[in-house]
Structure formats: C-alpha cells, structure tokens
Chain A
C-alpha cells in the first residue's frame, strides 16, 4: 500500500505490527538469540526499513516517524552486534593472532628494549657519578634501608603476607604495562617516557645498592620474576609505539581509522600479557622475597618463567595444547 495516497489507513494497518515489534525488542536486546528469533529480527529489520522510508516521505519530522526511526536504530544495533567469543575463537587468539602481532611488533620490541637498556645504563652512570641524586629516583624509605645495609624487600613477608603482596604487585604491574601502551597515543612520546623512566630507576637503584655491596642481593631478588616482568613492560611499550606510529604515519584513510585499527590489533596482546604478569606477581610475592630460597631455585623458576612467556607469545604453548 502506498502511504502517500492513504496515510491514515497505512498507519492504522502498520500500528499493530510496530506494536508487536516494540514488545519483542527488550527480549532480543537482552541475550543470545535463538535461530528463529534471529531470523525474525532480520525480517523485522527489513520490514521496518521499508516503513521508515515510507514514513520519512509521508510524515517527515512527525513523532511517529521519529518513533519508527528510534526503533529502527535499536533493531540495527541488535542485527549488527558481534557474536560472543567461543572457545574456538579464544584458541585462535592465542595460537594465531597474538603470535602474529608479536611478530609484527618485533622491530619495535627491539627498539623499546634498546631504549630501556640505554636508560638503565644512564641511570646507573648518573647515580654512580653523583650518588646524592638518588633522592630523585628512590623513596626515603628505600634509601634508609640500603644505608642500613639491607634491601627494602628484606623481611617484607613479616609485614605483608605473600598472597596480598602478590596481588598488589601484579595489579601494579598490569597498570604500568597498560599505561606504557596507552600513553603511546601521545604520538609515542608517553611510551618513551614510561620506558625511559623505568630504565632510569632500575639503573639508578642498582648503582646505589652497589655502593653498599647489595647489588648481588638485588639481582637475586629480581631475577626470578624480573626478566619476564620487564620484558612484558617493554612489550606493552612496543604496543604503545605502534599506537603512536599509527597516528604519525597512518596506514588507512584517516588517523582516526588507523589508530582504531592499531588499537584493536594490539589489544589482543593483553590477553597474553595480563596472565603472564599475574604469574610474575605470584613469583614476586611468594619466591623473590623469601630469603630461604637460594640462587639455583630462583634460576630455575626465572628460566621456566621466561620459557613460558616465549611459549605463550610464540603460540607454541597453545598449538601443542590443541594437538594434545
């Protein structure tokens, strides 16, 4: 029926259909649709599109047209929503997508590691040359501990239980890694700052503890968790550099699109980074501060953690799991 020729009859006829559709919307919007409901929604979407087009011609700006447009927009959102992630897509993420992103980021990972190493060396040289500058990078509590001839981590388990310590540590590390990444939105400069700052602090602290003969103890404390933890922060930094590059040298039509594309790609990385940072946090809470654990055990744990990280990031861990 042509709505232009007989609008009132057309409206009256369609009102019942719209009313039924309106009642179905909340159910369709809520959860997963059955095959039958999905087909119904698609059919309703097509029918409503026709009605919206007719109403726009016959009744432009009319409240009924606006109501139909609103319902059409809701239905559009329902019809175009993404399916929920399944186990298969998760396996694909870990076995294919994450390793591919890591491969793509390789030059940036090397670059960020280099920046980290250089800033560590700079921090070491700075404090080795002017020890009084340590106030800039370390807290008073840390400095006082070192001056007393002990690490600030000594006896920490008497104050805070390992479980609480682990949670606090991995939460902090996750935030730092995410921040190293998202700070890349400032054309990569934010990421450079975070990485250089962390490197500078590490180098400075090593130089300061060396003056008191504690650098060996610090290395012993750091080794089991630090190798992987710092690698993951640098990986987050490499992702941040990629974000910055997408703005400086957009590969798509606009900077906005390029940023969006880059962010979506690197976001997958965090599905691997976060669990690995949790593992590092657990090691740092349970193993690293425990003075009863000697170098051999720390060495084994540190290397095993490193192997785990490489297996996860290269996808081997999940490929072998899938094969088994």
Chain B
C-alpha cells in the first residue's frame, strides 16, 4: 500500500484503493481551469460590452445597466466557477478531468454539497499570500496531500481520468480465447490497446513474441511464421484473432 493512497473499506468487504493526486496534478488542473474561467469571463464581458454599445437605447442612457450586465456575470463566472462546476460535475471540473483527477470524500464517494462549498471557502486561506502558497505547502507536507480546504471538508483529490478510461477500455475490448492463460491474454490486450503509442519496431517484436507464445499454448501455430514481411496492420489483426480464438 502506498502512503499516497486512500484505502476505503466498503460494505462488501472488498477494499477500494484510490491513488491520491499530488501538487503537480493539482496545479495542472488549476491552471487549465483558470484559463477556462478567465476565457469565459472575458468572452462574456466583451460580448456584453459590444452588445450594449450597439444598443444605444441602453448603452448611452444607462451606464449602470452596462456595468451590471457586462461586469456582474463576468465576475460571477470567474469567482463562482469552481464551486458551481464542482457541484454540477460531482467533484470534477473540466480542468480536473483533463488532468485526470477528481475530488472524493473519505469514503471514496462524490463529495457532498456542503463539502464542496467548504473546500471552496477555504480557497481564501489556501491562496495566501500569492499563487496558492499556503495550499501548495500543505499539499507537500500533508500525508494525504490535502490543502486546508480538503482538510476541513474531508475531501481528497484522487487520480482518475486517463488510467480509468484506459483500464475500462481494456475491459471493453477484452476478447478472450478460453484456451489462453489469463496473463498472456491480459498482456495481449494491453499490447493492442497501446499499439499506437509504441515504437513500430518494439510493437512488432512484442507481437511476434506473443503470437509465438500463443501458438505454442493453444497448438494453433506450429512455428514462428511471423517474419518481417508481415506488415504492421496484419500483425495487429493476427494478434487480435489469436487472442479471441478466431482462426487466423
């Protein structure tokens, strides 16, 4: 068990382990969100100002209305972005989603409304003196990498996103040849999932080795026939066939 993980004992008796995100992931998510909210606020302000200046009826006679319509929603967008989006997305924001993290409570579930609001109220402390200095220091020294807002709200930021999508995609594409041993089957599925990420030479070599092993295991392939003449897509298809138990 890693020190930076949350182990939750569930009602079923099977533990849930969640990897806690560090200051890097936090900062990454925050920067993305900061850009989004700033952009939204600027777009609103620009569009509203433009609109109001065109509509002379309002624009010329009532500057207060212009200030209200242009400034107020823009300010609200900027300052209320986090609490509102975190509530609507149950502990996530677009930035957190892109950074592959999400907020959970200490039971591993989505945070409650109160927890989200407490967490955001403490931003007033965590952002002191500048650039989230206090928050950053507490995330570095706290065993659960929590800032003051998380400590008070009983929340944690855990890894999610990419790893989850990847793992779930693996389950979705799991096509198993019952004759294979599970280790080889999992390895083959993993190779197919990462096919495009790997160097062509490396993936071809791995695929050949696996096909040889699969051939030996199920008796479908007598000798390594996978020469350099077999091209990349063919090799990929052969591996897929071998894993699912279909004829080559």
Instruction: Decide if A and B are genuine partners.
Output: yes
Q: In the bound complex, do residue A72 and residue B16 qualify as a contact, i.e. CB atoms below 8 Å apart?
A: yes
A58 in contact (CB, < 8 A): yes
> Contact check: which of A63, A77, A164 meets B189 at CB < 8 Å?
A63
Chain B contact residues, majority secondary structure: helix
B180 at the interface (CB under 8 A from A): yes
The stretch of A111-119, A173-181, A207-215, A298-306 in contact with B is: A173-181
Q: Chain B residues near A243 (CB, 8 Å)?
A: 152
In the assembled complex, B107 has its CB within 8 A of some CB on chain A: yes
Interface size class of A (residues with CB under 8 A): 35 or more
Chain B: minimal CB distance from A145 (Å): 23
Interface presence of A189 (CB below 8 A): no
Contact pick for B115, options A18, A62, A259, A264, CB 8 Å: A264
B75 surroundings in chain A (CB, below 8 A): 171
Q: Given the known A-B contacts A178-B124, A183-B125, A260-B151, are A62 and B182 also in contact in the complex, defined by CB atoms under 8 Å?
A: yes
* CB contact between A71 and one of B10, B167, B176 (< 8 Å): that residue: B167
Residue B48, interface by CB 8 Å: no
A321 within 8 A of B: no
Identify 18 residue pairs between A and B in the complex whose beta-carbon atoms are under 8 Å apart, listed by A's number: A8-B180, A9-B178, A19-B172, A49-B12, A49-B13, A53-B14, A63-B187, A63-B189, A67-B167, A67-B170, A68-B171, A70-B167, A77-B108, A167-B72, A182-B124, A260-B151, A264-B153, A270-B117
Chain A residues packing against B (C-beta within 8 Å): 7-9, 11-12, 15, 18-19, 22-23, 25, 29, 45-46, 49-50, 52-53, 58-59, 62-64, 66-74, 76-77, 79-82, 85, 161, 163-164, 167, 171, 175, 178-179, 181-183, 185, 190, 243, 256, 259-260, 263-264, 267-268, 270
Report yes or no: B118 in contact with A267, Cβ–Cβ below 8 A.
yes
A76 and B109 in contact, given A64-B174, A70-B163 (Cβ under 8 angstroms):
yes
Q: Which residue of B lies closest to A7 (CB)?
A: B182
B209: A residues at CB distance < 8 A: none
The answer to whether B190 has its CB under 8 Å from any CB of chain A is yes
Contact A185 B125 (CB under 8 A): yes
List chain B residues, Cβ under 8 A from A267. 114, 117-118, 121
- CB of A59 within 8 A of CB of B117, answer no
Q: Please report the C-alpha to C-alpha distance between residue A179 and residue B163 in the assembled complex, in whole angstroms.
A: 37
Cα distance A260–B144 in the bound complex, in angstroms = 14
Complex contact B183–A62 (CB within 8 A): yes
Q: Which of A11, A72, A163 contacts B64 (CB 8 A)?
A: A163
Residue of A nearest to B189 (CB): A63
B68 located at the interface, meaning its Cβ lies under 8 Å from any Cβ of chain A in the complex = yes
Query: Is A80 in contact with B68, judged by CB distance below 8 angstroms?
Result: no
Q: Which residues of A contact B242 (CB under 8 A)?
A: none
CB distance from B104 to the nearest CB of A (A): 6
Given contacts A59-B182, A67-B167, A264-B115, contact A179 B124 (CB under 8 A): yes
Contact B151 A63 (CB under 8 A): no
Inter-subunit contact B174/A19 (CB<8 Å): yes
Q: Are A256 and B151 in contact (CB under 8 A)?
A: yes
Contacts of B148 in A (CB 8 A): 182, 185
Interface status of B4 (Cβ within 8 A of chain A): no
Interface string of B1-36 (1 = CB under 8 A from A): 000000010101110111000000000000000000
- In Å, the complex CA distance between A7 and B181 comes to 7
Extra contacts, 4 of them, besides A80-B110, A85-B113 (Cβ < 8 A), are: A22-B172, A182-B122, A260-B152, A270-B117
- Across-interface contacts of B180 in A (CB, < 8 A): 8
Mark each residue of chain B from 169 to 209: 1 if its CB lies under 8 Å from any CB of chain A, else 0. Answer: 01110111111111101110110000000000000000000
- Contact partners of A49 in chain B: CB under 8 A: 10, 12-14
When the two chains form the complex, which single residue of B14, B118, B152, B185 contacts A11, counting CB atoms closer than 8 Å?
A: B185
- 5 closest cross-chain pairs (CB), A and B: A80-B109, A49-B12, A67-B167, A161-B64, A263-B152
Contacts of B152 in A (CB 8 A): 182, 185, 243, 259-260, 263
B184 (CB) vs chain A CBs: closest residue: A8
- Could you tell me the distance in whole angstroms from the C-beta of B95 to the nearest C-beta in chain A? 18
* A-contact bits for B204-216, CB 8 A (1 contact / 0 none): 0000000000000
Bound Cα distance from A185 to B170, whole angstroms: 45
Interface contact A18-B178, CB-CB below 8 Å: no
Known A49-B13, A74-B164; contact A8-B176, beta-carbon cutoff 8 A: yes
If the complex has contacts A49-B13, A76-B8, A267-B114, are A164 and B167 also in contact, measured as CB distance less than 8 A? no
Are A11 and B171 also in contact (CB < 8 A) when A70-B164, A82-B109, A82-B112 are? no
What is the chain B residue whose CB lies nearest that of A71?
Answer: B168
Whole-angstrom distance from the CB of B235 to the nearest CB of chain A?
20
